[in-house]
Structure 1
Amino acid sequence: MTSAQNTALVEGNGENTHHGGHKKASLGAMAVGAIGVVFGDIGTSPIYALRETFAGHHPLDLDVEHIYGVISLMFWSMILVVTVKYVAIVMRADNKGEGGSLALLALISKNAGKKSWTAGIVLLGIFATALFYGDSMITPAVSVLSAVEGVGVYSPALSNLILPLAIGILIFLFAIQRAGTSKVAAFFGPIMLLYFGTIAVLGIISIAATPSILYALMPHHAINFFIIDGYKAFLALGTVVLAVTGAEALYADMGHFGRKPIGVSWLVFVLPALILNYMGQGALLIRDGAPALESPFYLLAPEWFQLPLIIIATMAAIIASQAVITGAFSVTQQAIQLGFIPRLQIEHTSASQAGQIYIPTINWFLMTMVIILVLTFQSSSNLTAAYGIAVTGAMLIDSCLLAVLLTQLWKWKLYYSIPLLAIFFIVDIAYFGANLTKVPDGGWFPLLIGAIIAVLLTTWARGRMILRNRMADESMPLDIFIQSARSSAQRAPGTAIFMASSPDGVPSALLHNIKHNKVLHERVVILTVQILDIPHVRPKERALVTDLGDGFFRIVLRYGFMQESNVPLALKNINICGGKFDMMKTSFFLSRQTLRTTKKGGMAQWRKPLFSWMLRNAANAMDFFKLPTNRVVELGSQVEI
């Protein structure tokens, strides 16, 4: 590299680092915050989980042996799946503090290189993401609907209000997303503390009346359940798993709170409250039998407290739904940055918290699907048939990713990893298999949604790669272009920034500009935005600047997959490539591709129109990179795929 082509790493100083995803705070404060956000989904499961196990699509005999067996299965599922698998092991697999299937996928891909099995791992990660969207539609529907159904328990005459109330709450919930949730979120922790405290106290009161329910915690009751009623016990796993839905949220939300606060809040507060409530419901069923099966959750409360309990449970359901919606926004942002989803409009709803975002397309799509679900299935009991298969599918995929992590990256001894993985796979496959029996009753919905979204994600990723390769094949080496432009083009005052998807070659917009306008600006910058396989890039490592000589510069801006790509903000901190950037004297040139489908290989023919449609509907690069609207010039070109 010549002296005129020096490369420098530019330090920035004006950006929110959001490094690691969460600010330093006391362990207690972080644990309370985690209770308010992370545990909403799993926390609202007692409203419907035990009832559905006995009265759902595969009802069980309401006797002591079956009650003990179900409570034992729920308890040991929470121990094995949530405590051991997620809290103790999976949450150690953080990608610079961030968790979730995509973060884990990025971590594995980054460390595994180009090994033969990485393509299969990428597909698993994509399908886990697709299943998450199915789950994010069902969770608000079943949580809010099951909570509001308490109105019918309190007063059967008000049963006709359940659907309108549920739909009204859901519409309100999605409508307030644009305003941001930072102020409302301050109340999440205290409300969920009240909720968990309430259900724990109600459980203790019921246990005191029937203390023999404590025997249900012994693991032999779960084993005996399979011995005396094997097939029904297997089918029951399809609803028992409802007790651990939301376990994956512990890992996905790790970046917001950290592993230790989530683990502490789970072990010290949430797990005991859930177990006490499930045992309390089991004790109620032993005492009262079938009449209590209408709603063992609400009937735990004395009549005078049922209405307050409905209000508390509904607020908890709203919080659980809010957490899933926020998670859908975060997962979408990660998927966009990693190249699995086209650019979408992303709005930041907080000036201080980079993670608080709003994506209108995802918000209104989710709202539409949730309302359709409520109107189609009519009751939480019907919805639970669709619930669970997405969660168990994602958990099974997490076990597959965990197997790669333990054996290939962490290099655990096989005599440690194999028995542990065998337990996880046996549990996950059993739960997933049991949920497959619910496919005809509604389980087809999340599978259908997952399949459609997986097709969209893989089509976009594949098409984007082909498009980049086609453009790279047609591009000219930059050093040759600079030499030829030195004598053949006039220079105009000002700065021209040409956005390029690849750091190599000449952007098509630059070629078209000199072809048609026969002029170059005094300072020409070829700018590439790179998204790395880490959640956050520190501001001082943001920009890589290369002086190419003759007024040409190459800048590479690097972001993590959890960060916003704000190009003007990054340029403010660069002053070593011909001086500072004045936005009023700077023009941004963008390439806009029009696709022409051909018989060329590389992608199935039916995918090509789909990719073309996705490309046309992607958000404009001008908005995505926060470019000043009055300083952008777009130049079109046609590309064959």
Structure 2
Amino acid sequence: MSHLAATAPSTPLHSATAVPHDHTPQGGLAALTLAAIGVVYGDIGTSPLYTMKEVFAPHTGVALNSAGLIGAVSAIFWALMLVVTLKYVLLILRAHNHGEGGGLALTALAAQAVGNRPALRRGLLLLGVFGATLFYGDSIITPAVSVLGAVEGLQLLAPSLQSWVVPISVVVLVALFAVQRFGTAMVGRAFGPIIVLWFLTLAVTGVSHIVEEPAILAALNPLEAVRFLHTQGSHVLLALGAIVLALTGAEALYADMGHFGRRPIQLAWMGLVMPALALNYLGQGALLMRSPEAIDNPFFRMFPEAALLPAVVLAALAAIIASQAVISGAYSMTRQAIQLGFLPRMRVLHTSATASGQIYVPMVNLLLLVGVVAAVVGFGSSSALASAYGIAVTVTMLITTVLTFFVVRHAWKMNPVVAWGATLFFVAIDLALVAGCAVKFFDGGWFPLAMGCALFLLMSTWAKGRQLVLASIREDGLDLPEFLEQLSTTQMNRADRTAVYAVADPHTVPQALLHNLKHNQVLHDRNIILTVRFANTPTVPPERRAEVQSLAPGFWRITLHFGFMETPDVPEALAGCEAQGLRVPLFETSYFLSRESVVATPGSGMAAWRERLFSVMSHNAGSVVAYFRLPDNAVVELGTRVQI
């Protein structure tokens, strides 16, 4: 593996946002709000397809009568109010990392807030990384359950189509993943209007049934939710495990904040999404109060027969959009994890010349496709997949609550009584939801947890392995100042060019430099010791991109800083060093990289099997040349063995 000294610093380059403030990307508020509706709310917007059916599934024990319906709808409504509106929309959206949201951005923010307590900082980093791994489980289950739930509407048109639900779903999903390489810009422009139509449809169909059975409006009383949960007795966790399906997608509000800003996301939720969801759940409850037999598919039973086919088509489009949102999120999460030092480099393709966030990661796309198809074929129905759906989401919600506490208490300096009180309130809700999903562990809940644990193992192994590699390089490397002092007394042939030597430790002599001197007996006129660091912030201001330090005649040390949401373009960053008095000509510069061959050895580093796993990951890491946008014809790679 060729290595360009890309490291996540132990301390942030810039301090995190100490106090909350709004961050809205460029663009009109109305346009951003429309786009937010299309991208952010696709997942939670498709929850009505299957939530009510699962709440009254036989295994939950919830009675399909007026009291049960009013109580269940009340529990869903107040779950949306407390978890989504109060927790995410009003509180957590304020905890942004220089405008960016999401699990890893929040993790970096929390870790910075407790930077003076190393043990706690490491613990929060590990907790946040585990939460990030569960997002990948969501990225597999969301497309599977959403598309299956939509296509299952065909069974109402013609029961004979039941055997075609899984094959049609697989075809739709394969086509969805196949077009990812072309980027989301074109389809993205259509997201907003389609999802707006979807939410308007939810609202209109809901109102039409509420008018016929207004008694369902009693569900707006929070006491009905309390009474409902109390009367479930020993089955309360099963009921909670189904109700949580109405909340899936809440994390997307936070994860996509960097794309749209806090205000557009809040306006979209308050102005359209929340009212439409509430009206539709109330409408489904009203329908079931009049026609309990509609429980086989209460969402599609709300439509008259003539409107059923358009409803299925619209639901399928909404499901595809919901899937697109989490797939794109998986790409962004992968890039963040790579640049924060938790995953090896992968090939990242940019699908837009103007929007840096629109990327495509072929390896992630392939793995997600395999996982989604396996989930569809293996589980076979949206009801079966619903058992696997909640547990990853609820554990992620719990982790988000814990991390947010350290931000509001230590970064915002909020009153400890308020900080602890709010945290314990939301932790109690999250734990109840986690427990409700945990009872479905053997019915499919193990699936996302197993994926999360496997990914956590890979990510923690990579991070620990990189630490061991850097420690080995420092231990075996030569001290740079002493080397330069000895070199100044030695006559050496000089090449009239610039050499850039990439190092993991800027205080040791690059192995590539030693190999160059040994084999070629030549030294360049200008030699740059280069280190690339990724900050715990999404972006780094251009004026702080490069640190230039003169070491000796003909030698400079340059440290380049990038945010974890930025694309590292090393030649462009080096060209900017001219403002600091060092000219790095593009066509007169050679890049010397050390291709590390990691050798696992007995010792106190990691278990032998983890060291071998890290060695395999290192060997298969993506090209450093492409990742850092180095010119292919100006790179020289020299091999070196590193023992860990």
Same fold per superposition (TM over 0.5): yes
1:446-485 matches, cutoff 5 A: 446-485=448-487
d(CA) in 2 for partners of 1:602, 1:366: 32
- Paired with 1:112 and 1:272, the residues of 2 have a C-alpha distance of 39
2:109 & 2:74 partners in 1: Cα distance? Answer: 36
Query: In the alignment, is residue 586 of structure 1 matched against residue 589 of structure 2?
Result: yes
Structure 1 residue 21 displacement after superposition: 8.8
Is the CA contact (8 Å cut-off) linking 1:56 and 1:381 kept in structure 2? no
| Higher mean C-alpha displacement, 35-44 vs 595-604 | 595-604
Matched residue, 1:235: 238
Give the superposition deviation at 1:479.
Answer: 2.1
State the alpha-carbon separation in 1 of the partners of residues 179 and 210 from structure 2. 40
Q: 1:530 aligns with which of 530, 533, 542?
A: 533
Gap change, CA 1:582 and 1:407, over 3 Å in 2: closer
Shift of 1:275: 0.3
* Residue-by-residue CA offset, 1:232-282 (whole Å, 9 max, x unaligned): 222110010000111011001100011111011101100000000000000
Q: CA deviation at 1:579?
A: 5.8
Partner of 1:263: 266
Partner residue in 2 for 1:193? 196
Mapped contact 2:397–2:430 kept (Cα < 8 A) = yes
Indicate the residue corresponding to 2:618 in structure 1: 615
Distance 1:292 1:576 in 2: 71
Alignment partner for residue 444 of structure 2, among 442, 445, 448?
442
1:509 to partner: Cα distance: 1.2
Question: 1:270-419 residue pairs with structure 2 within 5 A?
Answer: 270-289=273-292, 291-419=293-421
Shift of 1:169: 0.8
The equivalent residue for 2:223 is 220
* Displacement of 1:219: 0.9
2:545 is equivalent to residue 542 of structure 1 = yes
Task: State the secondary structure of the residue aligned to 2:389.
Answer: coil
How far did 1:512 drift?
Answer: 1.9
Distance 1:60 1:242 in 2: 16
Flag the 1:307–1:583 CA change in 2: closer, same or farther, 3 A. Answer: same
Instruction: Answer whether contact 1:389 1:435 (CA < 8 A) is retained.
Output: yes
Instruction: Determine the C-alpha separation between the residues in 1 that align with 2:74 and 2:605.
Output: 52
1:26 CA drift (Å)? 1.9
DSSP-derived class of the 2:387 partner: coil
Q: Work out which of the residue numbers 484, 496, 500 in structure 1 matches 2:499.
A: 496
Preserved CA contact (<8 Å) 1:200 1:277: yes
- Structure 1: 5+ residue runs without aligned partners? 1-19
Q: Which moved more, 1:149-158 or 1:454-463?
A: 149-158
CA distance, structure 2, for counterparts of residue 577 and residue 68 of structure 1 = 69
Query: Quick one: which amino acid aligns to residue 366 of structure 1?
Result: L
> Are the structure 2 counterparts of residues 576 and 216 from structure 1 closer, same or farther at C-alpha, using a change threshold of 3 Å?
closer
Q: Displacement, 1:485?
A: 2.0
Partner of 2:601: 598
| 1:554 counterpart (552, 557, 577) | 557
- Is the 2:110–2:404 Cα contact (8 Å) retained in structure 1? no
Checking the alignment, whether the CA contact within 8 Å between 1:21 and 1:256 is kept in structure 2 is no
Q: How many angstroms apart in 2 are the aligned matches of 1:327 and 1:569?
A: 27
Can you list the C-alpha shifts for 1:508-532, whole angstroms capped at 9, x where unaligned?
A: 2112221222211111111111101
Question: 8 Å contact 2:153–2:300 — kept in the other structure?
Answer: yes
In the alignment, structure 1 residue 119 sits paired with structure 2 residue 122: yes
Q: Which runs of 5+ in 2 are unaligned?
A: 1-21
**How far is 1:101 from its partner?**
1.2
SS of 2:559's equivalent?
Answer: strand
State the Cα distance separating 1:227 from its structure 2 match: 2.7
Indicate conservation of the 8 Å contact 1:547/1:577, yes or no: no
Question: In the alignment, what sits opposite 2:108?
Answer: 106
Aligned equivalents of 2:72, 2:515: Cα separation in 1: 69
Distance 2:316 2:577 in 1: 51
Which range is displaced more, 503-512 or 365-374? 503-512
CA distance in 1, matches of 2:322, 2:526: 52
* 1:267/1:36 CA distance change after superposition, 3 Å: same
1:3-37 superposed Cα distances (whole Å, 9 cap, x missing partner): xxxxxxxxxxxxxxxxx996322221111110000
- 1:333-367 Cα offsets, whole Å, 9 max, x none, are 00000000111111100000010000000000000
Alpha-carbon distance between aligned partners in 1 of 2:61 and 2:137, rounded to the nearest angstrom? 25
Residue equivalent to 1:87: 89
Identity of aligned residues (%): 47
In structure 2, how many angstroms separate the alpha carbons of the residues matched to 1:307 and 1:48? Answer: 18
Give the length in aligned residue pairs. Answer: 621
Q: Following TM superposition, by how much is the alpha carbon of 1:537 offset from its aligned partner in structure 2, in angstroms?
A: 1.0
2:524 to 516, 521, 530: 521
**Aligned amino acid, residue 129 of structure 2:** I
Distance in 2, matches of 1:474 and 1:362, equals: 36
Matched, 1:169 2:177: no
Tell me which amino acid in the other structure corresponds to 2:356: A
* Structure 1 position 245 matched with structure 2 position 248: yes
**What SS does the aligned partner of 2:608 have?**
coil
Stretch deviating more after TM superposition (462-471 or 538-547): 538-547
Contact 2:237 2:437 in 1 (8 A): no
**2: CA distance between counterparts of 1:357 and 1:188?**
17
For 1:220 and 1:417, the matched residues in 2 are separated by: 26
Matched, 1:135 2:144: no
Select the residue among 178, 183, 198 that pairs with 1:180.
183
The alpha carbon displacement at 1:414 in A equals 2.7
Question: SS at 2:388's partner residue?
Answer: coil
Which among 175, 198, 210 is matched to residue 213 of structure 2? 210
Three-state SS of the structure 2 residue aligned to 1:386 is helix
- Distance of 1:495 and 1:406 partners within structure 2: 48
Q: Contact 1:407/1:414 (CA < 8 Å) preserved in 2?
A: yes
Counterpart CA distance in 1 for 2:579 and 2:224 is 71
| Higher mean displacement: 484-493 or 350-359 | 484-493
Alpha-carbon offset, residue 160 of structure 1: 2.4
CA displacement, residues 378-436 of structure 1 (integer Å, 9 cap, x when unaligned): 11110001101000010011111122222222222232222222220111000001111
Query: Match of 1:5?
Result: none
Q: What residue is the counterpart of 1:62 in the other structure?
A: 64
Q: TM-score, normalising length from structure 2?
A: 0.94
Query: Does residue 514 of structure 2 align to residue 511 of structure 1?
Result: yes
What per-residue deviation string (whole Å, max 9, x for no partner) do you get for residues 48-84 of structure 1? 0111111264242211111111111111111110011
Change in CA separation of 1:576 and 1:189 when aligned onto 2, cut-off 3 Å:
closer
Q: CA deviation at 1:47?
A: 0.3
TM-score when normalising by structure 1:
0.95
Shift of 1:168: 0.9
CA distance in 1, matches of 2:453, 2:80: 29
Q: Does the 8 Å contact 1:553/1:577 carry over to 2?
A: no
1-side partners of 2:290 and 2:640: how far apart?
A: 75
CA contact (8 A) 2:203 2:275 kept: yes
Q: 1:56 to 1:511 in 2, by over 3 A?
A: farther
Q: How far is the alpha carbon of 1:438 from its aligned partner?
A: 0.5
CA distance in structure 1 between the aligned counterparts of 2:494 and 2:543, rounded to whole angstroms: 32
Cα distance in 2, alignment partners of residues 176 and 377 from structure 1: 25
Structure 1 CA distance, aligned partners of 2:447 and 2:23? 33
Q: Deviations over 1:475-512 (max 9, x none)?
A: 22222222222324221121111111233222221122
CA separation in 2, counterparts of 1:83 and 1:163?
A: 35
2:25 counterpart SS class: coil
Contact 2:237 2:439 (C-alpha < 8 Å) held by counterparts? no
